Amino acid sequence: MKLLLIEDDIDITNNLKLLLKENNYEFDNAYNITEGINKLSNNYDLIILDISLPDGNGFSFYKNHLLAKNIPVVFLTAKDDEDDIVNGLELGAEDYITKPFSSKELLARIKRILLKKEKNKIIEIEDIKFDLEKMKVTKNNKEVKLTSLELKILYLFFTNLNKVITRESIIENIWNWTGNDVNDNTVTVYLKRIREKLGDNIIITVKGIGYRVDYEK
């Protein structure tokens, strides 16, 4: 399990680094959003993210760079402000904690989130099972052959269940994965292929916006 800590306060950062090291967590740290973005090429199981950073807002960073990656995030906030808390949770953050906080409390939240993530590695919807760790999809217990890009698109949906994924977000992700320019027609073609292999009822079209996969219909 690898964590990323994004916090600009040097004292808090040093204390958290010591805490994580003592509890055998592998981690990186960044002191601002720019450094955080540069580290996102690594695979993190959890991000601890301060809301107020020198070069921007933690909420905006989460929305623009982390939401589609579906990495669990714990927001750190210096203000016991209800609006901040609601804003973070509505965006989809896993949890928040208000400074000052106890080490034991933060560790308990980290362990709870990572345990939950471990249990959710295989997602089952109707007759479809997606093993997120092995990147393997089965339908009625028979493996479905998907291309690498089809798997990545489906992974985006299955790690954002009950959320609308916009066509623009899919286009942006395909560009990040392949480096190729794509357009609306590309998205339509790939979604058609995935639906043909899995069935039309899994991916729901949200007219004029994008698509959604529901965990519970």
Return the CATH number of the domain spanning residue range 122-212.
1.10.10.10
Hey, what amino acid is at 183? N
Whether pLDDT at 18 is above 90? yes
Inter-residue contact 75 to 102 (CB < 8 Å): no
Comma-separated ranges of CATH 1.10.10.10 domains in the chain: 122-212
pLDDT in tens, 160-186: 888 899 999 999 889 888 888 888 888
* β-pair partners for 122: 131
pLDDT in tens, 23-51: 999 999 999 999 999 999 888 989 999 99
Q: What is the pTM for the complete model shown?
A: 0.57
H or E stretch including 46? strand 46-50
3-state percent helix, strand, coil for the chain, nearest multiple of 5: 45, 25, 30
**pLDDT score of 119:** 66
Return the CATH number of the domain spanning residue range 2-119.
3.40.50.2300
State yes or no: cis peptide before 72, omega within 30 of 0: no
**N residues, the chain:** 217
Can you read off the two tokens belonging to residue 5?
């800590």
Separation of alpha carbons 202 and 212, rounded Å? 9
